[in-house]
Amino acid sequence: MIRRVAGRTYADTDGKNGGNFGAVVLDEEVVVIDAGIAHTITKTARDWLSEQFGQPIKKVIFTHSHDDHVFGAQAFESASMIGSMRMGESCKEALKHEWTSSQIRKHADQAKDERPEYWASVQDLQIRTPDILFRDELIIGKFEDITVRLVGGHTADSSIVIVEPEHICFSGDLLFCRSFPYAGDPTCNPDSWIRNLEVLRDARYKHIIPGHGPVCEDEEVVRHVDFLRSLKASVKKALKQAVPVDRFLELGMMPKYYPEAADRRAEGTLVQWYKFYGKS
Ligand SMILES: [Zn+2]
């Protein structure tokens, strides 16, 4: 369900459609940010936006190349897709490997009982990837209302989207609100993630729309930074003492954080962080 956050900004954060997504209503168009995973669900939000505002949806901005933020974009047939050049590269690679239709169908079949809507949406999935690319930053709107900025961290292609003058930030997956973050992407850079969250915190946004979980404020960013910092310290310690990933979990070396989703995200996260800090 997409609903108003503040000013001209709307978001769907109920988690039923993979990642969060949202929209900003400008004078002459509606700009969408991320698209969820199931275009069948995203279509309902699209119809609601069209009905409410009577403005065309001309642009969809992607925060990064994870399928739970991208696959729903099929719902916006005629819109331009906007993403960083880095994201464009990631999508090209994904289309050759994990995004082939046989791979996607295989995954969807395995999850059919658990996620029937996702399974149904995959049956006629047409993946939309960015056709308007920017290097570091892109500004949209007559009054420079929307800034898209490539920052990295969660993935090398992670961008944030800032809406002014409302002073609202779509953080993408730099922020998982009230759940254990997924930090296991092979391009995840924990140091840049921490740094970017600190910048985000210092900007004192009125509202932050995270990649997953409810709309939140700075205190949630502070909590997230503290957790990532503690995790970094634990991983470095484990590497020094040659504690393998499975022992790390058995020994309770994982810093305390939201338990939600930890069972499916913790191990992959550790594998990537071991690789990252094992090199330095
Ligand atoms: Zn992600």
Q: What is the CATH number of the domain that holds 33?
A: 3.60.15.10
pLDDT per residue over 176-192, tens digit each?
Answer: 999 999 999 999 999 99
Rounded average pLDDT over 70-90: 97
Residue type at position 207: H
**What separation in Å is there between the alpha carbon of 54 and the centre of ligand 1?**
31
Q: Helices (H) and strands (E) in the chain — how many of each?
A: 9, 12
**What separation in Å is there between the alpha carbon of 61 and the centre of ligand 1?**
14
**What separation in Å is there between the alpha carbon of 227 and the centre of ligand 1?**
18
**Percent of the chain scoring above 90 in pLDDT:** 98
**pLDDT for 280 beyond 80:** no
Residue 279 banded pLDDT, cuts 50, 70, 90: confident
106: tokens are 């295989």
**What separation in Å is there between the alpha carbon of 211 and the centre of ligand 1?**
7
Number of structural domains (the chain) is 1
pLDDT per residue over 91-141, tens digit each?
Answer: 999 999 999 999 999 999 999 999 999 999 999 999 999 999 999 999 999
Measure the N-to-C terminal CA separation of the chain; round to a whole number of Å: 44
**What separation in Å is there between the alpha carbon of 159 and the centre of ligand 1?**
11
148: tokens are 């898209």
**What separation in Å is there between the alpha carbon of 53 and the centre of ligand 1?**
29
The candidate with the shortest Cα–Cα distance to 211, out of 83, 67, 69, 1, is: 69
Domain that holds residue 148: 3-279
